[in-house]
């Protein structure tokens, strides 16, 4: 969590390989790894849902789901297989999109968000990073996305959500890390920490930067 400009989205892009870090170390399962390109993160099993969704508006739902990892034989696309798998995946996530061949530009923002989330799940990742997944949505659609996040957790995926909505975090998260001005301003256990303490950390009323974190990451 963190206020505007805290560096949340930048951190997401660094993890995803979209904006490689100038310095520092990324550790994955205890090993230092190099993430310079989006493919690197994907190869490690890290999938990302960006705040702007990063969908191609002109392509249809199937095209977007498989963008960059099309099912093909000698460069020739296998549209039928892609559509079959896409329809299976969306079905298993209880996402209803009437026409998988409609350009994404014609979908509602909730449907787009669902497409972006399912795209992240398509490559069977081990960890999913979501940047402000509910910020642009209405209440009902946001609930659906939160349900999806719960489903991911139940499937045993690690989920990292960036949000500034404390309600969402309370609903689905176990741990919260607060960023402030690009630095870590504390780790909290969502279920035991009072809301006020987290808010104080976000706004800077309690400044933990430059000191040891309140408690090490479990």
Partner 1 sequence: MAVNDREPPPGGATRYLRECLRLLRWGAGTLVTAWRVGRTGSLPVVLGLVVIWIVFESIDTDFLSARNLSNLSVDLVGMGLITVGVIFVLLVGDIDLSVGSVSGLAGAIFAQLNVNAGVPEWLACLIAVLGGAAAGAVHGFFVARLGVPAFVVTLAGLLAWNGLMLFILDTHGSINLDDQGLVATLTNHYFGNALIPLGLAALGLAAYLAVALLGRRRRTVAGLPGPTLGAVAVRAGLLGAVLFGAAGVFIGFRGLPLSVLILLVTLAVLDFVLRRTTYGRKIFALGGGIEAARRAGIAVEAVRMSVFTVSGAMAAVGGLFLASRITSVGQTSGQGDLVIDVIAAAVIGGVSLFGGRGTTWAALLGVLVIQSIASGMALLGVQVAVQFMITGSVLLAAVVLDSLSRRAQRSHGRA
Question: What is the x/- site pattern for partner 1, positions 102-131, by CB under 8 A?
Answer: xxxxxxxx----------------------
Tell me the two tokens of residue 26: 């990324």
As measured in angstroms, the least distance from the Cβ of 113 to partner 1 is: 13
Least Å distance, CB 76 to partner 1, is 6
Paired tokens of 207: 């400044």
CB of 51 to partner 1, least distance (A): 12
Name residues contacting partner 1, limited to 52-111 (CB under 8 A).
52-59, 63, 67-70, 72, 75-77, 79-81, 83-84, 87, 102-109
Cβ 112 to partner 1 shortest distance, Å? 8
Q: Which is nearer to partner 1, 2 or 17 (CB)?
A: 17
Minimum distance, C-beta of residue 161 to partner 1, in the bound complex (Å): 18
Q: Are 116 and 54 in contact (CB under 8 A)?
A: yes
181, 8 contact by CB (below 8 A): no
Dig out the tokens for 149 from the structure. 């996040």
**Per CB under 8 A, which of residues 3..22 are in contact with partner 1?**
16, 18
Closest of 58, 59, 19, 55 to residue 35, by C-alpha: 19
Residues 6+ apart with CB under 8 A from 217: 175, 177, 187
Whole-angstrom Cα distance, residue 209 to residue 88?
46
Q: Are 19 and 30 in contact (CB under 8 A)?
A: no
Considering the complex, state which of residue 107 and residue 173 has its C-beta at the smaller distance from partner 1. Answer: 107
Q: Which is nearer to partner 1, 48 or 201 (CB)?
A: 48
């Amino acid at each position: 969590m963190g206020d505007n400009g805290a560096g949340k989205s930048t951190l997401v892009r660094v993890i995803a390989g979209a904006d490689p870090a100038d310095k520092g170390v990324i550790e994955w399962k205890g090993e230092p790894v190099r993430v310079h390109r989006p493919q690197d993160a994907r190869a490690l099993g890290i999938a990302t849902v960006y705040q702007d969704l990063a969908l191609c508006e002109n392509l249809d739902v199937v095209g977007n789901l498989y963008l960059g990892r099309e099912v093909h034989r000698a460069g020739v696309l296998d549209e039928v297989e892609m559509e079959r798998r896409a329809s299976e995946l969306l079905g298993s996530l209880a996402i209803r999109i009437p026409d998988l061949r409609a350009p994404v530009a014609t979908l509602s923002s909730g449907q787009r968000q669902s497409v972006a989330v399912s795209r992240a799940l398509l490559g069977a990742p081990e960890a999913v990073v979501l940047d402000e997944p509910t910020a642009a949505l209405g209440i009902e659609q946001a609930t659906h996305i939160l349900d999806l996040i719960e489903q991911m957790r139940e499937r045993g995926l690690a989920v990292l959500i960036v949000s500034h909505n404390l309600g969402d975090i309370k609903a689905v998260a176990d741990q919260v890390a607060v960023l402030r001005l690009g630095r870590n301003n504390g780790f909290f256990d969502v279920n035991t920490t009072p809301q006020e303490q987290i808010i104080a950390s976000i706004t800077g009323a309690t400044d933990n930067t430059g000191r040891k974190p309140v408690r090490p990451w479990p």
